[in-house]
């Protein structure tokens, strides 16, 4: 029997894809990462956000 308590804590919607490590994507396209991948993937996303922010600053000054 599988409990879905984790999705109720942090993520809305049903799981659409779940990987063997524990990461999953919901039907609403939210991602929840397992402990093993959380740090790495959060840093990757943060790096992309930082790049976008820098681009926006340049555009505002131009």
- Contact footprint for Zn ion (CB under 5 A): 21, 23, 34, 37
Cβ atoms within 10 Å, residue 41 = 14
Question: Smallest distance from the beta carbon of 42 to Zn ion, in angstroms?
Answer: 12
- Which of 15/37 has CB closer to Zn ion? 37
Q: Is 13 left (phi over 0), alpha (psi -120 to 50) or beta?
A: left
Pure H helices in the chain: 5-10, 35-61
Question: Smallest distance from the beta carbon of 39 to Zn ion, in angstroms?
Answer: 11
- Which of 29/62 has CB closer to Zn ion? 29
């Amino acid at each position: 029997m599988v409990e879905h308590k984790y999705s109720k804590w942090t993520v809305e919607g049903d799981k659409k894809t779940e990987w063997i490590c524990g990461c999953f994507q919901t039907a609403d396209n939210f991602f929840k990462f397992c402990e093993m991948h959380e740090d790495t993937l959060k840093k990757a996303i943060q790096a992309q956000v930082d790049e976008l922010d820098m681009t926006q600053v340049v555009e505002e000054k131009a």
